[in-house]
Amino acid sequence: MNPFVFQIYRIVVPKFIRKRILAQRLPKAIQNYYRGLSEAPTEEIASVLNYLSRKSIAIFPYDFQDQYIADKIEVFNDQVKGLRYVLLDGKRLYFKKRWGKKKIQYLYNLLSKEQDIRSPHRYLTEQFGFNYGEVLVDVGAAEGNFALSIVEKASRIILFEADKEWIEPLNATFEPWKEKVEIINKFVSNITDSQNTKLDDYISIDGAGTFLKIDVEGAESKLLNGCKRILSEQKPLKVAICSYHKQNDEKEFSSLLTQNGFKISHSDGYMLFYYDKKMKAPYLRRGLIRAEKS
User: Does the pLDDT of residue 11 top 50, yes or no?
Assistant: no
- pLDDT above 90 covers a percentage of the chain that reads 84
Reported as a single tens digit per residue, the pLDDT across 73-125 is: 999 999 999 999 999 999 999 999 999 999 999 999 999 999 999 999 999 99
Instruction: Assign 186 a pLDDT band (cuts: 50, 70, 90).
Output: very high
Say how far apart CA 119 and CA 114 lie, in whole Å: 6
List the one residue out of 135, 85, 164, 92 whose CA is nearest residue 237: 135
Contact between 57 and 272 under an 8 Å Cβ cutoff? The reply is yes
Q: Which of 66-75, 207-216, 234-243, 281-290 has the weakest average pLDDT?
A: 207-216
Count CA atoms closer than 13 A to 182's CA, side-chain side.
Answer: 12
pLDDT at 9: 33
pLDDT at 14: 45
List the one residue out of 134, 116, 138 whose CA is nearest residue 125: 116
User: Does the pLDDT of residue 188 top 70, yes or no?
Assistant: yes
Reported as a single tens digit per residue, the pLDDT across 29-68 is: 999 999 999 999 999 999 999 999 999 889 999 999 999 9
Say how far apart CA 67 and CA 116 lie, in whole Å: 10
Contact between 236 and 210 under an 8 Å Cβ cutoff? The reply is yes
Say how far apart CA 270 and CA 132 lie, in whole Å: 30
- Secondary structure in 3-state letters for the chain: CCHHHHHHHHHHCCHHHHHHHHHHHHHHHHHHHHHCCCCCCCHHHHHHHHHHHHCCCCCCCCHHHHHCCHHHCCCEEECCCCEEEEEECCEEEECCCCCCHHHHHHHHHHHHHHCCCCCCCCCCCCCCCCCCCCEEEEECCCCCHHHHHCCCCCCEEEEECCCHHHHHHHHHHCHHHCCCEEEECCEECCCCCCCEECHHHHCCCCCCCEEEEECCCCCHHHHHHCCHHHHHHCCCEEEEEECCCCCCHHHHHHHHHHHCCCEEEECCCCECCCCCCCCCCCCCECCEEEEEEC
Say how far apart CA 146 and CA 136 lie, in whole Å: 10
- Mean pLDDT (whole number) for 157-184: 97
Reported as a single tens digit per residue, the pLDDT across 224-260 is: 999 999 999 988 999 999 999 999 999 999 999 999 9
Mean pLDDT in the chain?
91
Domains observed in the chain = 3-57 (no CATH), 123-293 (3.40.50.150)
Measured at the alpha carbon of residue 227, what is the angle toward residues 258 and 149, in degrees to the nearest 5? 85
